[in-house]
Amino acid sequence: MRIAASAAVLVLTLSACGFTAPRSNDGYANLDSPGMADTDRTMSLSLGPTMLHFAARFLDDDPETQILLRSLDGVRIRIYEVHGDSGRITQNFEHMGNKLDKDGWEPVMLVREEGELVKMYAKASDTGIQGLTIVSANDEEVVIVNVMGDIDPRYYRDVMVALDVDDAPEVQIAAMN
C-alpha cells in the first residue's frame, strides 16, 4: 500500500513539473482509443515542456528545431496494433474527428492512399497554431500524435520532420478562420 501511495505521489509530482504533456493546454486533444476491442496499445509517450526544453539544449547544430522544441508545451504519441475489425476503427476515426470539431479543431489535411488513412487537425490561436493532431491508420497500426504549444505555421514542415512523418508534404500557409 505504501509503494502504491509513493508511486501516485511521484506521478502527480512529475506531471505537475512539466515532464509529461499538460492536459490543461489549449492544444491538448482529448481523444479516446481507436477501438478497445479492435486494438492493443503498444506505446504511449507523453513529453512536457521540461523534457522538450531539455532536448532542445542538445541541438546546437540545428537552431530552427531548437526554437521549435522550446515553443512546444507537450507532445503525446500513442501507437495501437490493429487486430480486429478495421471497419469499426474507420468508424471510430469519424467519431474522433467529430469530437475534435466540437472542441474547435479544424481539419487541415486528409490523405487516403492504398490501405492507409491520415488526418491532421489544427487548433488555431491569434498568433498561429496552438495544437496539431495527426491520426494515421492502416490495417496493422493506428498512430495518434498530439503536439501542443505555440506552433508558428512556418515550422509546420519542421514539426513533421521532427516527428518522423514520412514524405511530409510541402505546405503553403493559408489564413485560418
What are the pLDDT digits (tens) for 25-43? 888 898 777 776 777 788 8
Evaluate if residue 44 carries a pLDDT over 50: yes
Question: Tens digits of per-residue pLDDT, 74-127?
Answer: 999 988 888 877 777 777 777 888 889 899 999 988 888 887 888 889 998 887
> Three cell numbers at 86?
478495421
Residues ≥6 apart with Cβ < 8 Å to 50 = 17, 18, 19
How far are the Cα atoms of 46, 60, 154, 163 from residue 66, in angstroms, in the given order? Answer: 19, 8, 14, 14
pLDDT band for position 64 (cuts 50, 70, 90): confident
Beta strands in the chain (DSSP E): 39-47, 72-82, 106-113, 116-124, 129-138, 141-151
* DSSP-based three-state secondary structure for 62: coil
Mean pLDDT of 132-142: 86
Please tell me the distance from the alpha carbon of residue 162 to that of residue 79, in angstroms, as a whole number: 17
* H or E stretch covering 42: strand 39-47
Q: What is the per-residue pLDDT for 146? A: 93
Rg, the chain, Cα only: 17
The average confidence (pLDDT) of the chain is 75
Please tell me the distance from the alpha carbon of residue 84 to that of residue 77, in angstroms, as a whole number: 21
Q: What is the per-residue pLDDT for 159? A: 59
Evaluate if residue 150 carries a pLDDT over 60: yes
